[in-house]
Structure 1
Amino acid sequence: MGGKLFMKKNMRYASMALSLVLASSALAACGQNDKTPAASGDSAASGSGQAVKLKFWTNARHDADLMKEKIDKFNETHKGKIEVETQIMTDNYEQALQTAIQADEAPDVFNAKMKLKFEDLVKMKAIEPLDSYMNDDVTKRFGENLLKLDRQNALDGKTYSLPNYGTTWRLIYNKDLFAKAGIAEPPKSLSELVEDAKKITEAGKADNVYGFALNMKTPAAAFERGLLPMVRLDGKDYYDWKTGQYTFDVLKPYVQTLKQIVDNKSMLPGYESLDIDPLRNQFAAGKIGMYFSLSAEPGVYDSQFPTKINWGVAQVPTVDGQAPKGANYINGGASWLYMSGKSKNKQAAWEFMNYLYSDEVLVPYYEQGKGVSVVPSVVEKAKEPTLKNFKDFAPKDDAMWPAYPVHKVEGKPWQNVISEVILGLTPLDNAIQDLNKRYNDGLNTEEKAGNVKRVVIPDFDAHALIKK
């Protein structure tokens, strides 16, 4: 049987996005999770005996094949009860969703990985708290640490989304260039990072090979990939969670390391205007010894920049090469799906969400390299992912950190200031002094105005964030 995948215009939102619409139905079968309480005035099937029709919007294309397969199956096993129509927004997802929310026509379930702010959606009552729907099995499976991530998937004690996958950060390196330079393993310390980059550059001079590369066209993108992961793996952060103060001094040794690689001429030339895809292209061609990046790389080198080089993945270095005192961070792992706060079929929507969050869906999601799972039961049950090196991005010394307080800061963002240090335009000490003052002044001003709440965690321990 199976569903039929077809293209159509969404008449109301045609000016904002094209949609792939998935609707499928087949043989009837049993329902799912009969222990979940129904929301007031709602049931999993309409009183008329017709199937409840749910709308599901997503901005994710990378998982479309697996999601189609699983949603087809859900529709087949719920024929006559629930029918899900999926729209994959190919453009302006946030704009289309915001318009739909304001018109009280939001989809019943929608992808949470987007630019619309979680706290704003809660204030608008655009998303539904899930606490009354989750039974003990769900709570036990995900655990309190994944269900109550403040200002990430929970607010004021209420949970609005459950996790699936997140982004992890690693050192990507060319094993053949390391071997040619006489280096047995990837660097474990900052000093080794500098020295290895130098050795690879010297060994590859004839072939225009460089030991290290940095995509500094967009400083924020560059430093989220390597600088911040190294800092946090050492248990530090530029925001002191124990005191609620900014302390950019902690960045010093890591910035000095990157500056030294530049000064040694071990950095790929043009790094100051280099974007990530041109960097990847050079790496795939065997011209770069190593660089920092994210868990999307296995997919990139499988399809976007297919390569024959022998490449590997390693945890980022610590300051002294010793065991991590903190935790590398997982980005965007706290949430995956939201239920509309205005849905007229909330029980059916939860039944659909509960299915998508089941191991039946999340295990192959991880195995096929759609995303790095942060759900323990998924990682335990999953076979080794099929994508080359994807398994090395699985959480080990990684955790989801607290969310920074969000507030206005006058002047340049810290990433741009640090990039000027690496370029030799601004002395490091001056930069740190400037950042400490501006960011703390910004927080103090916004706190006094009632626009932000200072985050203070007196017993904060970065290494304790890792749940073994």
Structure 2
Amino acid sequence: MRTNRVFAATALVAALGLTVAACGGGSDSKGSGDISASPGSLKGQTITYWASNQGTSLANDKQVLTPELKKFTQQTGIKVNLEVVGWADLLNRILAATTSGQGPDVLNIGNTWSASLQATGALMPWDANAFATVGGKGRFSAAALASAGAAGKDPAALPLYSMAYGLYYNKKEFADAGIAQPPTTWAELVADGKKLTKDGHYGLAVEGANGAENIHHAFVLAKQHGADWFDASGKPTFTGAGNVAAVKQYVDFIASDKIAAKGDAEYVQNQTITDFATGKAAMMMWQSAATSIKSHGMSQDQYGVVPVPTQTAGATGDAGVTSMVAGINVAVFNSTKHKAAAVQLAKFLTSTPEQKILNGTYGTIPPVTEAQSDPAFQTPDLKALAGVLSKSAAPMPQVANEAQFENLVGPAIKSLFADAAAGKAVTDDTVKAALQKAQSQMPTS
């Protein structure tokens, strides 16, 4: 999912135990809970759609989505009230809607929230009958579906936009430093980063105050260290040696390696992309950043994208994981009064033509496999990221308390980055203490 969101998952602890109230964008008498209703019978209904911020601004998203939703209305007669919601507010808005009855019919969610929101009962399950209305489950990539809800349950949402992390590197800065190839291991990345760090420029940019970034990298590095953040029963295991090693390795980019600027500890609003695109940093680890990089004036031929490094060259299995399965899902509120109309909108947004248009505009990868062959998705960077999704990406923990994990561990890592920037020692003990504090605040059931 996009990484400029601020975590607002605390309310989820209470929401998990509540019954979802009725939601929906209106109360006209034509509403139907029968998702198989023909589009013609739904003409004249009005539904509300909460879209997440995918473009350069909320206004940009409205410019992108409005003509597409008008197209949907022309095809079906169903009107759509669009609201683009920023990441800082989206989760809290969703949680409030599950209890107040004042919510949308259709909404975007970060795919890492899927299992947590699924546990509230707020989202319509996509069973075999529901999937049949959108052309079948087989249209979607397996990796994207794996981040649509808990294992063994019907998905809580449909994949809409897919993303993956890659290592972006500045070709000219690498050449000027005499570095022939981008790094494939972390030892190589640190060595290259030190060569590239001079005269106010740094080898790597990180987003140290961005909770999402922190969680995503801690997840990947923990996998590489042979660790998970939850055991098989869903119990948190934050203080395990592999998790401690993962967090310390990430914070050390500022603390001991000194290849990222101390000021990066305060980055929270995509300043990493700005630093990379303007030449202040030679590398960054980011998800599907082409559109944002271009907005800063950097052309695609000036940078390359390769998989994020691993601990050892050629690592496979969990040791070879280089990204979480990133992306945005589209969901239908389970208690909407306009379920059939809502499903029609989900069908439209995940149709092959719309997948090409929307993912092409946002620089993301279509989770609908038929759309991936379009030339728009054959650029070197997107091909590299698509390879990551298919070969070395793993879904974030699909457990009910995943959102609380993000809300607690992300800020814990932010505090460690702040310590590093202030010159305080970051040791295994201090990392473990921060993770222990986070774990102590996790729900017990």
Task: Give the TM-score, by structure 2 length.
Answer: 0.72
Q: Of residues 103, 108, 111 in structure 2, which corresponds to 1:111?
A: 108
Identity of aligned residues (%): 19
Aligned: 1:377 with 2:389? no
CA distance in 2 between counterparts of 1:181 and 1:269 reads 22
Q: Which residue matches 1:341? A: 334
Q: Which residue matches 1:229? A: 220
Aligned: 1:129 with 2:140? no
* Residue 222 of structure 1, CA deviation: 4.8
Task: Say if 1:170 and 1:393, in contact at 8 Å, map to a contact too.
Answer: yes
Task: Say if 1:197 and 1:212, in contact at 8 Å, map to a contact too.
Answer: yes
* Residue 161 of structure 1, CA deviation: 1.1
Q: Which residue matches 1:5? A: none
1:199-238 equivalence runs, <5 A: 199-201=195-197, 204-205=198-199, 208-216=200-208, 218=209, 220-224=211-215, 226-232=217-223, 234=224, 236-238=226-228
Structure 1 residues 17-43: Cα deviation after superposition (integer angstroms, max 9, x where no partner): xxxxxxxxxxxxxxxxxxxxx955983
Structure 1 residues 319 and 276: alpha-carbon distance in aligned structure 2, compared to 1, 3 A threshold: farther
Q: Which residue matches 2:45? A: 53
SS of match in other structure, 1:293: strand
More displaced, 249-258 or 366-375? 249-258
Q: Which residue matches 1:312? A: 304
1:15-414 equivalence runs, <5 A: 39-40=33-34, 43-44=37-38, 51-60=43-52, 62=55, 63-78=61-76, 82-89=77-84, 104=101, 106-113=103-110, 119=116, 123=120, 126-131=122-127, 132-135=129-132, 137-142=135-140, 146-147=144-145, 149=147, 152-153=148-149, 157-201=153-197, 204-205=198-199, 208-216=200-208, 218=209, 220-224=211-215, 226-232=217-223, 234=224, 236-239=226-229, 241-242=231-232, 244=235, 245-250=237-242, 251-252=244-245, 255-256=248-249, 259=252, 262-263=255-256, 265-275=258-268, 277-295=270-288, 297-303=289-295, 305-307=296-298, 310-326=302-318, 327-333=321-327, 336-379=329-372, 381-385=373-377, 389-394=381-386, 395-396=389-390, 397-403=392-398, 405-406=401-402, 413-414=411-412
CA distance in 1 between counterparts of 2:384 and 2:278 reads 22
SS of match in other structure, 2:107: strand
CA distance in 1 between counterparts of 2:434 and 2:256 reads 24
Aligned length: 392
What amino acid maps onto 2:381 in structure 1? N
What amino acid maps onto 1:215 in structure 2? E
Task: Say if 1:106 and 1:342, in contact at 8 Å, map to a contact too.
Answer: no
Q: Where does structure 1 lack aligned partners over 5 or more consecutive residues?
A: 1-37, 453-468
SS of match in other structure, 2:362: coil
Task: Say if 1:94 and 1:115, in contact at 8 Å, map to a contact too.
Answer: no
Structure (1/2) with the larger helix percentage: 2
More displaced, 106-115 or 314-323? 106-115
Structure 1 residues 58-85: Cα deviation after superposition (integer angstroms, max 9, x where no partner): 233535455334333333333xxx3222
Structure 1 residues 400-444: Cα deviation after superposition (integer angstroms, max 9, x where no partner): 23235355899995414543674552452312442565456555x
Q: Where does structure 2 lack aligned partners over 5 or more consecutive residues?
A: 1-31, 56-60
Structure 1 residues 260 and 109: alpha-carbon distance in aligned structure 2, compared to 1, 3 A threshold: closer
SS of match in other structure, 1:183: coil
What amino acid maps onto 1:60 in structure 2? S
* Residue 184 of structure 1, CA deviation: 0.7
Task: Say if 2:203 and 2:260, in contact at 8 Å, map to a contact too.
Answer: yes
Task: Say if 2:143 and 2:395, in contact at 8 Å, map to a contact too.
Answer: no
What amino acid maps onto 2:345 in structure 1? F
Structure 1 residues 94 and 199: alpha-carbon distance in aligned structure 2, compared to 1, 3 A threshold: closer
Task: Give the TM-score, by structure 1 length.
Answer: 0.69
Task: Say if 2:73 and 2:80, in contact at 8 Å, map to a contact too.
Answer: no
Q: Which one scores higher on RCO, CA 8 angstroms, separation ≥ 6? A: 2
Structure 1 residues 392 and 224: alpha-carbon distance in aligned structure 2, compared to 1, 3 A threshold: farther
Structure 1 residues 103-135: Cα deviation after superposition (integer angstroms, max 9, x where no partner): 645433233349998645764x54333323222
Q: Which residue matches 2:6? A: none
* Residue 249 of structure 1, CA deviation: 1.8
Q: Which residue matches 1:429? A: 428
CA distance in 1 between counterparts of 2:47 and 2:430 reads 50
Task: Say if 2:111 and 2:326, in contact at 8 Å, map to a contact too.
Answer: no
Task: Say if 1:421 and 1:431, in contact at 8 Å, map to a contact too.
Answer: no
* Residue 317 of structure 1, CA deviation: 0.9
Q: Which has the larger radius of gyration?
A: 1
* Residue 177 of structure 1, CA deviation: 0.9
